[in-house]
Each structure stands twice: as structure tokens, then as C-alpha cells.
A and B are shown apart, each in its own frame.
Chain A
Amino acid sequence: MSPDEARWTADDTNPDAIEAMLRELLLRAHIEDGEIAPARVLNMIVLVRSGHLGAMLERLAGVGRYAASRLLLIELDRDAEHLAADVRVTAPERVGGDGTALVRETVKLTVGECHMPDLRSIAASLVVTDLPTLLWSPAAERARVQPLLALAQSVLIDSLEGDNAAAAFTSALELADESYVVDLSWLRTTPWRERLAAAFDRRRDALDRITSVTVRHNPASIPAGTLLVGWLASRLGWEQLHLAPTGEGLAGSARSARRAIELALDPDPGLAVPGLSGMTVTTDDGWQLSLDRGAGGLQADERRADGSARRWTVPGASRGEPGVLGEGIRQALLRDPTYVPALSLAAEMIA
């Protein structure tokens, strides 16, 4: 079965016909190749405005094996009067090179304003029952997404895409009341959180002695930087957090049980991709650790109270934005209880 072999399109159809055709295409594919097996992992519903579908497909093409097993792409074309569908059943890869071929199903729907009242029932017919469902609607109005929330167990967002970080965090907190939220901005902080956790693992007593945290970030990635500080604050019990604009970035403070902590978010124009470029943590005895993006991993720069300094590389491959999106899809199958507390404090910091 070649990737484009099983396809069906219709300009004026209905969800029942589409669902029947999905089953038909799958059966046909299985008859042709007994090694065909439907992947049954995750439904993903993507809601996009007219004209954005191409860009969305390009982003999704980069996620590789993290693609949802059934993808329902809904394009909003206000003037469309008929429900149009483009259904593909593809088997892009074989397990172990020559074993079972895993089928992925993609349904592209074009819906008009007239379909909006029924959007939920249209989508409900086309997701695989009993599989978790992830909803993603970059830049779509909340009102459009609302009817679909009841179908999804998880919602994929990117706090980076709001009008500003404060508004994005408020929106994310509201969403988190209704559904499990996977935030790409949060996932951009994952390697940094892992490395900080590792760096303090042998000096856990120093966590109480942190006196300053500086995060360097892509100028647009204030949400990621703030979430990282929010995470530290939530894990370490910091209170009275605030950040305020300075000349170029944000600066402020927090309080732990024992001392004040200086906080700074410094934009790094040299970082072309969303996310963080580095961070520095200092403790009251003069110990300081900086982690910065570098070739082949993070460059660590440690300065100790005795004045000695060490530099080394913590190896790791950059995931890139496709990797972050792929991770976002995978996270729909997991649960991270540390996000919402970090988000709450991040929102508080820049309120």
C-alpha cells in the first residue's frame, strides 16, 4: 500500500458516509495486504481557519511517528455551504522495517458557518470511540473551539500564540478547568527543568539557598521563561512573586521561607527559534550554574564559592519545533501534575 493509495473525496457529504468510507478503505487495504493494521492510539482534532490548512499540514508532517492515528482536520470556510471531505488511509511505515504496516487515517473536512451549530456532532461521528482525543486549534477563537471541548480529553495550546503572556496564561487556566492542557511553551522548558533537577540532585540543600534566577529566552517566548520560573516557584514553595518590565526584559522577585530571590527574564535576540536560550541560578554561597544552548547539547558553566570555574557540555539533541509539537501530541497520553501549579504562579507573576 503506497502512502496515497487509499483516498476518497466528496464535495457534499455527511459524517455517516465519511465514517463508512473510512471502514471501507481500511477493509480494502487489509484485503490487499494482510499485514495492514490500524494504529489505535489517539484521535486528534485540528480546527483551522480558511487558508491556514497548508501551514498546519506542514507542521504536522514534521512530527513523524508521533502523528495521531486518526487526524480530523476541520477547515472553517465561512462561505462553504456543503460539507466537503478528503479521506486518506495511509501506511507510511512498517514496524521493524518489513513487518506490520500501521495505518493512519486522515480526514480533512471543510465546514461553513452553516455547519457550526452541528460541529460537535459532526466531529463526534468521526473520532474512534474509546481512544483519547486531543484538540488543537491554533489561533482560532475560543467560541469556535468550545463545542469541541466535550469531545476531547486534552487540549493542545501554545501560550506563545496569545496576544500577550498574561492573556495566554489566563486563557490556559480557564481551559485547564475544563480539560487537560498540553502547552507547547511548557514543553519547551522540559530539557531545562530536567537539567535543573539533575544539577540540584546532589545538592538538594542548596535549593533553599537560591538567591537569583535569570532566564534567557527568544524575545517572543516570555511564556516559556515565565513558566520555568513558575515551575521553580511552585516546586520550592516561593511566594510573593512578581515580574515587571525593565529596559528590555522582565525583572522582579520572589520569597522563599528564608530569603528573597531575584528573578529576571532576559530576551535573547540571538535565538531564532521559540523557547529558551539559557538560564543562570545562583545560591547564597556564591555557587552559580549557567546552562546555555550550544552545539550538541547544553553548555554548563559552573562557578563555585572558592572561585573555581568549570565548563562542560551536557549532551542532547535539539528536538526542534517539530519535535516539540510531536512531544505535545504524545503528552496527550500522559498527565503532568506540575503544569497547572507552574502556570498559576506564572500568571500571578505577570498579572
Chain B
Amino acid sequence: MLEQAANPLVEALERQPVDPTALVIFGATGDLARRKLLPAIYNLAHDGALPERFALVGASRRDLSDDQFRGECAEAIRTFSRRPPDPDVLAAVLQDTHYVSGGFNDAALFEALAVRLDALDEEAGEALSRAFYLSTAPSFFPAILQRLGEASLNRRKGAEVRVVIEKPFGTTLKEARELNRRALRYFRETQIFRIDHYLGKETVQNMMALRFANGLFEPLWNRNFIDSVQITAAEDIGIGSRADYYDRSGALRDLIQNHMLQLLCHVAMEPPVRFNAEAVRNEKLKVLRSVHIPDAAMIADGSVAVRGQYTRGHVDGENVRGYLEEEGVPEDSRTETYAALKLSVDNWRWEGVPFYLRTGKRLARKVTEIAVTLKPVPHLAFDRSGSLGIQPNQLVLTVQPNEAVTLRLGAKIPGTRMVIRPVSMEFLYDTSFLSQSPEAYERLIGDVMRGDAMLFTRNDEVEAQWEICDPVLKTWEQSDAPLPSYVAGSQGPLEANGLMAGEDHWRTI
């Protein structure tokens, strides 16, 4: 499109204009769409944040009429929206909701889609931008991308065409490269939005504000003052009804390859020159390329990577099954439900600072956090006796369940003796702002329609992430060593303690 002069009306508006858009969701009757995407679209509508002209088109294999699909949308929104829907707003959204059915590898679906989209353009009297959201099983991604290209739905004169690709983006480096190749055959990189919903969370975005808008942290943010970084994404739930997906994925692919490496990037990146998509992603890519690729021998001996699988145990006071007893899981499955890595970022800033990453199902509780541990003070004049111990300062950024920043400090216990114990200085998001954070998907869908790729992963980032994880997966697949186990509701396999260097230890989940 031709560059236009700046719109003088947008200054200071919180809700910036969004391109008039037809949003097509492939897999519109699936779980992700029902639980996250449709409620997010409703909430954008409720807040008046949808584009001036907007149409939602569901595409799926099930044979449904427009009205039947609208009924399913309404039910999903009533069930999963973060607020009860306003009937009038819901009706207005459903009025602009449509459905086309067909197989994702069937050219007829895309022909029908093209006809429907052209009709929507005709109705709007202008070419609506188009956003294709791939919310299907990953195996359909290549076919959908190809069919979109073959049906000439990848370009639109006078409007933008964007494609949103859900995770997982491939299951190996080779697959990711192939998927990138396929996507880039039909779409330009600027049209492709690889979604990682963690990046839509306020705390993750706030990490840049915390680091780069405060003079307090950045002078300490390097190997001279930081001892280690721990990134944890623990879940207390099991795999639920996702055995089919999870058993083929495992913990490393499910969370570390994407979310957790992105979190690592936010911790370790250099200040971007500008706060825009390319500048930020360039800095993240530099971090990923600085990560030392784990060595096969060290993976095999458990000194840089540990995996595990949960056995039956107790979570939240209830007996829960072990992974191999879960419905749909093969009884000889060697899929890891826990993965931990020790990574090093080989650059000037981070040389010698270990980055510990761990994730798992059926751990003691649900928590996602980044803990930055500072080096201990060089000399301590205080008497240690009678004290709980003087611990190094630790900055903890909690992503969930509550978004918070906590700084652990040493403080004197009231009394006549100089006895120190750790105390916490806590900043809870909800205590300090009047605004409610939008759901990550609301933010990200809005960004897609606006064409802002800052919170999405670029092709080279995805491949760099796979370059780190691929050797681990390959080594694990080739290993016939017994798979470590951990009791459901515990802290994970004991073997994970072997990753820790020196005095380091895992934070209690």
C-alpha cells in the first residue's frame, strides 16, 4: 500500500485505529478458538477495540450453517469470556460472523472462502484486510499455507493480508525450516505472525520497561553482579484430554522451545535502539545466537539437560494418576513431562552466568517466574548465628498466577542483636494500576489486525530456538537410559538438582 500521511486524529487515543479486517479462523470449532480466540474477539468488541469494519469467518471441517456456528460462538463466549457478555454487543459481533466448511487440504474450502471474503468486501464497499489465523493441528499448517497461496488469498490489492501461525512451529529444526520455507513461498515475512501468547502477557512486556526505563537495574544486569537466572514454568495440572498432542510433543517442545526461550531473550537482550518490531527482534535474535548449543555428551550425562515423567501422587490434596496411566498415553511412552536445561549465553554481558530453565506438568503448583539471583556481598561483618541466613538479593518476576515483581532483601530482625533475615519487597500489578490487563490473546489479535509484529516471533528467531533444542531432543530420542521419574505434586525429578552449579539451587515451586 502507498504510504499515507500521519493521521492527525490518533494522537493520545488509547485505542488506535485498526485496519478494517476480515479475520478467518481455521479450526474455528476447536478448543483454542472456543476457549481463547472467540472470547478475545468478543472482549475486543466490548471495549470498542475491533476495527471500524470487521467480519469473523470460521473455517473448519464440520458441516455447520452460519447460524449454527454463531450459536457455538455465543456458547463459547458465554462460557469462557473474562466477563459476562453484553447481549447487545454479542449480537452485534455475531451479526458479522460467518462460516465456511471443508477440509483444510481441500481446494474447495479455499474457493468458498475466497467467494465469502469477496462478498464481505463487496458489502463493506472496500477491500478489507485479511487475517488468517491457523488454529488447527500443526500438521495442517503447511497445507493451509499452500492452499491460501494457490487460491491467491495471500495478496489483496489495496489491503493487507496477514497469517497467524499458532505454536508449535514445527517439532524439529528441520520441520521448522520447512514450515518457514513453505510460509515464505506464499507470504512475505512481514505478513507472518508466529504467535507465542506468553509474549502478550503484561509482565513479559513489563520486563523491558523494568530493565530499560529504570536506572536501578541495568547497571547490575550483567555477569559482574548476577550470579544466575532461573526461569520456571510449572503447572500442577496433568495433560487432561491432550494426550494425543502432548505425547508427541513433550515438555521441551511444548514450552521451552518457544515461551521459555523467549523469556530468556527478554532477560538477556541488549537495549534495542528503537522500540519497534525489527529492533526488538534483532536484539532477541542476538541472544539466541549467543546461546551455547548444548553438547550431546553433556546432554546424555545430565549435566546440561534433564527430563522426567510424573508418576502417581497427590496434587492439591487429591490422588492423581501417573503419566503412563493417563487416558490416551501409550503404556511404553518415553515422552518427558518435565524438562530442565542449563544454558549459557556466550557474550560479553553474560559470560559465566548460568540460565536454568525448567518446566513440567503435575508439579507442586502453578507458577511461571523469572528469578534473577545477584552475587553475594563480598564481605559480611554481621554475626551469622541466630539468623536464618543472609541470602543474596533476588529479583523475581512472576508471570502467573499473579503478575508481580518481588525483590528479596536482607533486613535486620527487630531486637537488640544485629541479626539479618531475608524479606520481600513486593510489587503486585493489581495493587498499583486501575486498569485490568487484557487477556494476552486480546492484545495479540489486536496487534495482528494493526500489523504490529513486536510481540511475535520472526522466522530466524524460531529457527535459532530450534537450533538450541534440537540436539537435546535428538540425544534424548537416541538414549535408552531409564527415564527419570518424579512423583506428581513434587518439585520434579531429583536428577534436576545435578544441573545446578556451585551453591545454586532450584527455587521451591
The interface of chain A, by Cβ under 8 A from chain B, is 37-42, 65-66, 69, 95-96, 99-100, 102, 190-191, 193-202, 204-205, 207, 232, 235-236, 295-297, 300, 302, 304, 308, 310, 312-317, 326, 329-330, 333, 336-338
Contacts and interface: CB of A to CB of B under 8 A. Distances in A.
Contacts of A295: 88, 91-92
A194 B13 contact: yes
B216 interface: no
B53 A337 contact: no
Interface string B1-36: 000111111111111111110000000000000000
Given A37-B428, A39-B430, A314-B48, 16 more contacts: A38-B431, A40-B432, A69-B431, A99-B402, A190-B13, A193-B9, A197-B16, A201-B19, A297-B45, A300-B52, A302-B125, A310-B125, A315-B50, A315-B54, A317-B46, A336-B12
Contacts of B126: 202
A88 B426 CA distance: 24
- Interface residues of B: mostly helix, strand, loop or mixed? loop
A193 B12 CA distance: 11
A330 B434 CA distance: 6
Contacts of B19: 201-202
B434 A41 contact: yes
Contact of A41 (B5, B52, B89, B433): B433
Given A197-B10, A198-B51, A317-B89, A37 B5 contact: no
Given A42-B434, A201-B7, A336-B12, A191 B89 contact: no
Nearest to A99: B402
15 contacts: A41-B434, A65-B436, A95-B402, A102-B430, A191-B48, A199-B52, A202-B19, A235-B8, A236-B9, A296-B91, A300-B52, A310-B125, A314-B52, A315-B92, A329-B434
B12 A207 contact: no
B92 A235 contact: no
Contacts of B9: 193, 196-197, 200, 207, 232, 235-236
Given A197-B17, A202-B20, A96 B46 contact: no
A269 B412 CA distance: 67
Interface string B60-104: 000000000000000000000000001111111101100000000
A296 B88 CA distance: 4
Interface residues on B, range: 35 or more
A316 B435 contact: no
B494 interface: no
A100 B92 CA distance: 36
B124 interface: yes
Contacts of B14: 194
A202 B20 CA distance: 9
A96 B50 contact: no
A190 B9 CA distance: 12
Nearest to B10: A197
Contacts of B15: 194
The 4 A-B pairs with the shortest beta carbon distances in the complex, nearest first, are: A316-B48, A296-B88, A296-B92, A197-B9
B47 interface: yes
A316 B45 CA distance: 5
Contact of B89 (A96, A195, A235, A315): A315
Contacts of A333: 433-434
Interface in B397-435: 401-402, 426, 428, 430-435
Interface string B373-401: 00000000000000000000000000001
B143 to A, nearest CB: 33
Nearest to B1: A202
A41 B48 contact: no
B318 interface: no
B46 A66 contact: no
A329 B434 CA distance: 9
